[in-house]
Amino acid sequence: MEFTFSEDQLLLQQAVRDFLEGECTPAAVRELWDTETGRSPAFWAKLSEIGVPGLLVPEDHNGLGMDERDLVLVLEEAGRAALAEPVISTAAVGVPLLVELSGKGQSELAQKWLGAVANGEAMLAVGHARSPFVGDAHVADLLFLPDGENLHAVPRGETQLTAQDSNDQSQRLFSVDWSPSVATRVASGSEGAAMQQAAFDRGVLACAAQQLGVGQQLIDMGALYATQRQQFGVAIGSFQAVKHRLANAKVQVEYARAVVYRAAHSVATGAEQRAADVSMAKVAAGEAALFASKEALQVHGAIGYTYEQDLHIWMKRAWSLDLAFGTGAWHRARLADAIIDGQGPVRAFGYCAPKA
């Protein structure tokens, strides 16, 4: 059995990496912090030109028709570049929801939005019951929101948004006031609950993939600084204690990488153990990214605490991704339930009713 990625998948990853290295620089990331939305329509259009938002959109809707095994590499590069645009909510979670709805009597909804997403003309936001806030709701044209077991697709104009603070300047979080109605309900009962669960698991996988990229970038930054900073007349990277810190971080990232890739396969194939696999990926990648943050900061020393040093861009991303789509502690508990019961994860991810 072949466990490696194909040449086409690796070429796609390299193309996205090359694009982001040129367009999503630390300076560009910082520049967006001072804008009203924190997002760039021009940059989103460029992302659409290379097919990122429409990667999971079927070909008959002008997308690339790929699956999560292709997307996981793209999301990893997004984490490496600290990309702020709503790739997770739009490409990784929202698009599969639309595709699934198209097969459940909601073809008109899919017809309206899938092509628009693929062409860079629309963004999506997805709420879930593990968080009271919805990321990037302010730029989303359509929001998927839970109401108990019911799932609703709500245009942004029918919601009232309240901005929330975040420790990551690139993150935009909002509480959403809205009123569920028959017109906005797209799935209900057990079907709605199953779709919410699948969407949640896709979001978990997407966060884990980005955490891989964040962790690797932190290691690379630490290694580069270790070759430049000198002490006692030599680069600090020649000291064994420094080498060990970065090597230990690299080991954690590499161990997590296989777990994340396995989770991507489970999501793409609809495997029965999907929920357990994505939770394991979130735990492994989250711990690796947080550990890499700590070790990279130690290598940088005092300068790593300064605002001018770019290290905090990725450290904050590691922290915010660790909290997104369930904390590491929650996913460990989910895995514990699966192991103890022997029947797969049974821990419900809960439901939140909309505010009155």
Confidence at 278, pLDDT banded by 50, 70, 90:
very high
Query: Residues of the chain with pLDDT > 70: what percent?
Result: 96
Would residue 305 count as lying in a domain? Answer: yes
Q: What confidence tier does 37 reach under pLDDT thresholds 50, 70, 90?
A: very high
Q: What is the pLDDT of residue 351?
A: 35
Q: What tokens appear for 96 in the block?
A: 């599969």
| Whole-number pLDDT of residue 107 | 86
Do 135 and 125 touch, CB atoms closer than 8 A? yes
Number of domains in the chain: 2
Shared domain for 79 and 53, answered yes or no, is yes
**Residue 310 banded pLDDT, cuts 50, 70, 90:** very high
Last residue of a domain, one of 155, 188, 221: 188
Domain match, 163 and 229 both: no
H-type alpha helices, the chain: 7-23, 26-33, 41-49, 68-80, 87, 95-102, 107-118, 189-228, 240-269, 274-300, 311-323, 328-341
Say what the pLDDT of residue 241 is: 83
pLDDT confidence of residue 348: 46
More confident residue, 230 or 211: 211
pLDDT of 341 reads 72
Q: How confident is the model at residue 36 (pLDDT cuts 50, 70, 90)?
A: very high
CA separation for the pair 111, 50 (Å, rounded): 21
Question: What sign does the CA torsion over 84, 88, 89, 90 have?
Answer: positive
Say whether both 89 and 238 belong to one domain. Answer: no
pLDDT for 333 equals: 92
Q: What is the CATH number of the domain that holds 35?
A: 1.10.540.10
Task: Report how far residue 261's alpha carbon sits from residue 277's, in angstroms, rounded to the nearest whole number.
Answer: 10
- Looking at the predicted structure, is the pLDDT value of residue 2 above 80? no
Q: Do both 195 and 293 map to the same domain? A: yes
pLDDT tens digits along 115-171 = 999 999 999 999 999 999 999 999 999 999 999 999 999 999 999 999 999 999 999
Shared-domain flag, residues 126 and 248 = no
Rg (CA), the chain: 20
State the residue range of the domain holding 223: 191-341
Residue 232 included in any domain: yes
Neighbour-count burial of 306, counting CB atoms closer than 10 A to its CB (0-12 exposed, 13-18 middle, 19+ buried):
exposed
Question: Do the Cβ atoms of 320 and 88 come closer than 8 Å?
Answer: no
How far is Cα 356 from Cα 347, in angstroms, rounded to an integer? 27
